[in-house]
Amino acid sequence: MPSLEQFCVVNVELQPRMLGRMPQGTRIDFAFQGTATSDHWDGERPVRGVDYVTVRGDGHMDLDIRATIGEKRETVAYRASGVSVVRSENEAFAQELITFQTGNEDLAWLNQVVGIGLGGGEGGKMTLTIYVVRP
């Protein structure tokens, strides 16, 4: 039976850029940067990326994320898609499906798993816990 194993916790600050109304909804790009902590490495690693958000007619958000954790040869790139459920004007709960790419030998196992990201944001900040699915 598959299980979830916590991979890392990401804390970022969001910098929104409004693109406006599109046929699918209102588009907002959220550039973000912050740090990730994990039992898989010592200390914090930088996180950078962009979440290309479409605010749907029901007020919730479709997510399309591209980001990196770490620097140089320790970089883990990830791509995620999902839904963020709006709970109030300033608070949302994100649910993401994640795939990884890395050349880091210690983390190469990430190239063969999928991840699940769960977290929330409020006031321009977001915390996301990333889990990996283990067979």
* Average pLDDT, consecutive stretches of 10 residues, N- to C-terminus, the chain (135 residues): 96 96 95 98 97 95 98 97 90 95 97 97 93 94
Domains of the chain: 3-134 (2.40.160.20)
Q: What is the pTM of this model?
A: 0.94
Which own/partner pairs from 63-70 qualify as long-range (CB within 8 Å, at least 24 positions apart)? Answer: 63/94, 63/96, 65/96, 67/32, 69/8, 69/10, 69/36, 69/45, 70/36, 70/41, 70/45, 70/46, 70/104
Q: Which candidate, 117, 120, 118, 64, places its Cα nearest to that of 91?
A: 120
